[in-house]
Amino acid sequence: MSETSRDALRERALKLDAADPLAPQRELFALDDGVYLDGNSLGALPLHVPDRVRDVLTRQWGELRIRSWDESGWWTAPERIGDRIAPLVGAAAGQIVVGDSTSVNIFKAVVAGSRLADRPDGGPSVHDGGPSVHDGGPSARDGGRDEILVDATTFPTDGYIAASAARLTGRRIVPVDPAEVRAALGPRTAVVLLNHVDYRSGRLHDLPGLTADVHAAGAIAVWDLCHSAGALPVALDEHQVDLAVGCTYKYLNGGPGSPAYLYVAQRHQAAFDSPLPGWNSHADPFGMTPDYTPADGSVRGRVGTPDIVSMLTLDAALDVWDGVSVAAVRAKSLALTDFFLECVEAYVPPGRVSSVTPAAHAERGSQVALRCADAEPVMRRLIERGVVGDLRRPDVLRFGFTPLYVGFADAERAARVLAEVLADVPGENPAA
């Protein structure tokens, strides 16, 4: 790398940062002078959150105690916070409920999605008593829709849970590469579980097109938004997604283990038959009746008592999105990942790394994944030098770009330190 090209890239980074409308957001976060490129695994802490959580613990719990279920809005927090996430994923209010882990929500969505697919029209049902009213329509057992398609490249938990859901509902699991979903769809397909952005490669899948294909086959589309919500527009309502899940501790900065969310499109809510119909989803939870009558609306996706402390931590953390446009976030994310790739190209000797993240904007999430033969020692040294990304074994270096708090100078520095580290780690084909 020549010194002039380095100076030119640094210069450009400073200009891009100066012109970045999202740059002031960085001040809202607890960060040090390193470069944090792991917000796609654990988002950074917004600085105002600890005081808010202290209030939850000392005043709401410590002083109000049981009164807080009403007076502090604890009881309705899952739906209220769901409505705060809704605009970030293109959903109208009343369709998202927060609670449980992503894994648990995948279970609810895939099983309930299978039950929806069993219905002749997928239309509304009458829940007048029993938990499940399958009045007609072919069931999995009599040769109807007996297949659950799952992204074969998925984050493993999605595949594990989908396989169990298939066993429970008498179906078979069909792992498919997202590029081959179209060919695998058919009259036997009940549910298709896909990732919006692949956690490893950062590839963005075609949610509008794939959802339309799934619907054309008469099946239910379930999307996992873990690596897209908070990083790019999702438009769930516009594209008529049926069910969706996502976590909140990545791009939504909800904190370690913060609760996930479940989206059930309004048109499916009346027929949504949860496989975990806990008392929190009952129409009259305090009636304590032996019979289960599901509540209407997004509440039906609840299970048991919400994890209030984590949930209200997330609630506070979501304040950083006030007044932020998802379109601006997407524009910056693409500019950042473009710029990082350009700096890597300029600084890193040829052959040491290759990007597995698509170059086309339409296929790129908000991370850059670089294949590198020495990924493990390289990432260790990067972290020692303050550039924090992560490793996806065996050979992928993953760098997440969270537009609310990562800037262009960070991208330039990360690429420069990567080149310096690679010079110290000889590699299989040592650079001349």
CB of 155 to ligand PLP, least distance (A): 3
Collapsed DSSP state (helix, strand, coil) of residue 408: helix
Q: Is 350 exposed, middle or buried (0-12, 13-18, 19+ CB in 10 A)?
A: exposed
CB of 102 to ligand PLP, least distance (A): 3
157-196: which residues touch ligand PLP (CB under 6 A)? 157-158, 195
Query: Which residue from 140, 148, 247, 312 is in contact with ligand PLP, where contact means CB under 6 A?
Result: 247
Distance of CA 422 to the CA centre of its chain: 31
Other Cβ atoms less than 10 A from the Cβ of 101: the count is 17
Closest CB to ligand PLP among residues 13, 232: 232
Stretch that binds ligand PLP, among 52-60, 221-229, 309-317, 407-415 (CB under 6 A): 221-229
Tokens read off for 52 = 């808010």
Examine the residue annotation and report whether 249 is marked as an active-site residue of this protein.
yes
* Alpha carbon distance 426, 391 (integer Å): 19
Please answer whether residues 213 and 182 qualify as being in contact, where contact means their C-beta atoms are separated by less than 8 angstroms.
yes
Under the binding rule (CB under 6 A), the answer on residue 226 touching ligand PLP is: yes
Catalytic option among 36, 107, 199, 249: 249
Under the binding rule (CB under 6 A), the answer on residue 102 touching ligand PLP is: yes
* Alpha carbon distance 287, 244 (integer Å): 30
Query: Which residue from 14, 23, 83, 103 is in contact with ligand PLP, where contact means CB under 6 A?
Result: 103
DSSP letter assigned to residue 86:
G
CB of 211 to ligand PLP, least distance (A): 17
Closest CB to ligand PLP among residues 244, 419: 244
Phi, psi of 351 (to 5 degrees): 90, -15
Under the binding rule (CB under 6 A), the answer on residue 312 touching ligand PLP is: no
Instruction: Measure CA of the first residue to CA of the last residue in the chain; give whole Å.
Output: 12
Examine the residue annotation and report whether 395 is marked as an active-site residue of this protein.
no
Stretch that binds ligand PLP, among 72-80, 138-146, 155-163, 322-330 (CB under 6 A): 155-163
* Alpha carbon distance 307, 313 (integer Å): 10
Please answer whether residues 201 and 357 qualify as being in contact, where contact means their C-beta atoms are separated by less than 8 angstroms.
yes
Catalytic option among 108, 119, 145, 250: 250
Under the binding rule (CB under 6 A), the answer on residue 199 touching ligand PLP is: yes
Examine the residue annotation and report whether 155 is marked as an active-site residue of this protein.
yes
CB of 195 to ligand PLP, least distance (A): 5
Catalytic option among 300, 302, 398, 416: 398
Q: Is 49 exposed, middle or buried (0-12, 13-18, 19+ CB in 10 A)?
A: buried
Closest CB to ligand PLP among residues 25, 258: 258
CB of 400 to ligand PLP, least distance (A): 11
Q: What is the 3-state secondary structure (H, E, C) of 332-373?
A: HHHHHHHHHHHHHHHHCCCCCEEECCCCCHHHECCEEEEEEC
Other Cβ atoms less than 10 A from the Cβ of 426: the count is 11
Closest C-alpha to 46, from 34, 32, 28: 28
Task: Work out the angle at residue 283's Cα, subtended by the Cα atoms of residues 109 and 190, and round it to the nearest 5 degrees.
Answer: 20
CB of 278 to ligand PLP, least distance (A): 18
19-48 footprint of ligand PLP as x/- string (CB under 6 A): ------------------------------
Under the binding rule (CB under 6 A), the answer on residue 253 touching ligand PLP is: no
Please answer whether residues 206 and 151 qualify as being in contact, where contact means their C-beta atoms are separated by less than 8 angstroms.
no
Closest CB to ligand PLP among residues 46, 202: 202
Examine the residue annotation and report whether 292 is marked as an active-site residue of this protein.
no
Query: Which residue from 29, 155, 263, 408 is in contact with ligand PLP, where contact means CB under 6 A?
Result: 155
Catalytic option among 29, 155, 251, 405: 155
Examine the residue annotation and report whether 119 is marked as an active-site residue of this protein.
no
DSSP letter assigned to residue 72:
T
Closest CB to ligand PLP among residues 227, 268: 227
Active site residues: 155, 224, 249-250, 398
Binding site for ligand PLP (CB under 6 A): 101-103, 155, 157-158, 195, 199, 224, 226-227, 247, 260
